[in-house]
């Protein structure tokens, strides 16, 4: 599980969250938006782990002391003063990584830090939302807070979002919800108004101009390519192995735009606004099942690359899935 020290981007969001913790002004709900799933997840995990870190909690609640008249070395505690935390640098706000809560978080078994999954990978149903609302009513086991990370919140339909709305309006004092979405515009205004919204840079901005040009060439033309042309694209991709995560994030956001337009016939919330016409055309030509297969193939490719499966073979299989679905 990530900590703030592991995050190299999202500087503004990191600073905002650190200052919120330092000032003891943590909101009950955050909406983190951007087209990089891994970046959103890492930021949410770093925030959640830091909120639950008992070492940091002790630091932020350590009282001041002064000598007592009873003798040298004797001290008595003083109440925290309004400027108690002003002497602490925001750089010090991070999970320690060694306390019991941090160790549990790294092993993904901290009982008061939950990543909320849906029954169906590409759907966040009203039943999933109801299970979440019911679980939130259970008080924390070991911590003062109970933190929920909710990936793919944009997949909630209107009924699911409305189910969550009352909890966002009147949350338990211990609950912190971190919703992750591709775009804030894909959430209801009533949801957005009750969350602190943090917008991250799009994944495409992490790619060089040449790499971005290659990625868009693949997305726009792979359907019409022959096998030799696909193999040539794979060869070009191999020059950007270190940035392959940015490619797969961009591919994911592209096909999620297509899925959104196909489901809603609405383009106002697409991330790739310069390619709205191309996305509309793709949405009219590809089936829901085809989009699902491609998104699954991208996810599988990412898992294979993290497991050090052969790069060229992995990307060839991915591009073939994008062509054939």
> CA 183 to CA 247: how far, in whole Å?
19
Per-state percent for the chain, helix, strand, coil, to nearest 5: 60, 10, 30
What pLDDT was estimated at residue 274? Answer: 80
Better-scored residue on pLDDT, 116 or 121:
116
Tokens of 283: 């949405």
Q: How confident is the model at residue 301 (pLDDT cuts 50, 70, 90)?
A: very high
Q: How confident is the model at residue 86 (pLDDT cuts 50, 70, 90)?
A: low
Q: How confident is the model at residue 206 (pLDDT cuts 50, 70, 90)?
A: low
Place of tokens 């004797």: 74
Average pLDDT of the residues of the chain: 86
Report whether 308 contacts 72 (CB < 8 A).
Answer: no
**SS3 (DSSP) at 18:** helix
Tokens of 237: 């991709």
Report strand pairing: 146-150 vs 175-181.
Answer: parallel
Query: Does 66 score more than 70 pLDDT?
Result: no
| DSSP classification of residue 260 | H
Q: How confident is the model at residue 70 (pLDDT cuts 50, 70, 90)?
A: very low
pTM tops 0.85, yes or no: no
DSSP 86-110: GGS-GGG-S--S-SHHHHHHHTT--
Report strand pairing: 64-67 vs 75-78.
Answer: antiparallel
> CA 230 to CA 316: how far, in whole Å?
7
Range 204-324: architecture per CATH: Up-down Bundle (1.20)
> CA 97 to CA 100: how far, in whole Å?
9
Check if CATH label 3.10.105.10 holds for domain 4-58+85-201: no
Q: How confident is the model at residue 201 (pLDDT cuts 50, 70, 90)?
A: low
Better-scored residue on pLDDT, 203 or 10:
10
Of 11-20, 111-120, 175-184, the range with the highest mean pLDDT is 175-184
List the domain boundaries for the chain. Answer: 4-58+85-201, 204-324
> CA 57 to CA 142: how far, in whole Å?
13
What pLDDT was estimated at residue 62? Answer: 62
What pLDDT was estimated at residue 83? Answer: 54
């Amino acid at each position: 599980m990530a900590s703030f020290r592991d995050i190299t981007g999202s500087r503004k969001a990191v600073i905002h969250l650190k200052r919120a913790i330092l000032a003891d002004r943590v909101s009950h709900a955050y909406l983190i938006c951007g087209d990089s799933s891994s970046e959103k997840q890492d930021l949410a995990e770093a925030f959640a782990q830091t909120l639950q870190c008992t070492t940091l909690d002790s630091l932020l609640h350590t009282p001041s002391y002064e000598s007592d008249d009873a003798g040298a070395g004797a001290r008595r505690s003083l109440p925290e003063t309004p400027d108690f935390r002003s002497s602490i640098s925001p750089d010090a706000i991070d999970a320690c990584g060694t306390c019991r809560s941090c160790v549990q978080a790294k092993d993904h078994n901290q009982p008061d830090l939950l990543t909320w999954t849906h029954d169906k990978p590409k759907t966040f149903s009203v039943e999933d939302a109801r299970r979440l609302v019911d679980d939130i009513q259970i008080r924390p086991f070991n911590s003062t807070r109970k933190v929920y990370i909710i990936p793919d919140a944009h997949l909630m339909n209107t009924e699911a979002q409305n189910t969550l709305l009352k909890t966002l309006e009147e949350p338990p004092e211990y609950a912190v919800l971190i919703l992750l979405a591709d775009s804030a515009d894909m959430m209801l205004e009533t949801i957005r108004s009750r969350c602190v919204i943090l917008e991250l840079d799009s994944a495409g901005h992490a790619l060089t101009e040449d790499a971005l040009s290659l990625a868009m060439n693949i997305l726009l033309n792979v359907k019409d390519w022959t096998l030799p042309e696909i193999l040539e694209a794979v060869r070009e991709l191999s020059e950007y192995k270190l940035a392959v995560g940015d490619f797969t994030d961009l591919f994911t956001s592209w096909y999620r735009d297509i899925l959104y337009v196909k489901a809603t016939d609405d383009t106002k919330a697409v991330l790739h606004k310069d390619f709205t016409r191309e996305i509309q055309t793709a949405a009219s030509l590809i089936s829901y099942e085809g989009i699902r297969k491609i998104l699954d193939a991208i996810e599988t490719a990412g898992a294979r690359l993290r497991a050090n499966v052969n790069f060229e073979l992995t990307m060839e299989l991915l591009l073939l899935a994008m062509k054939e679905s």
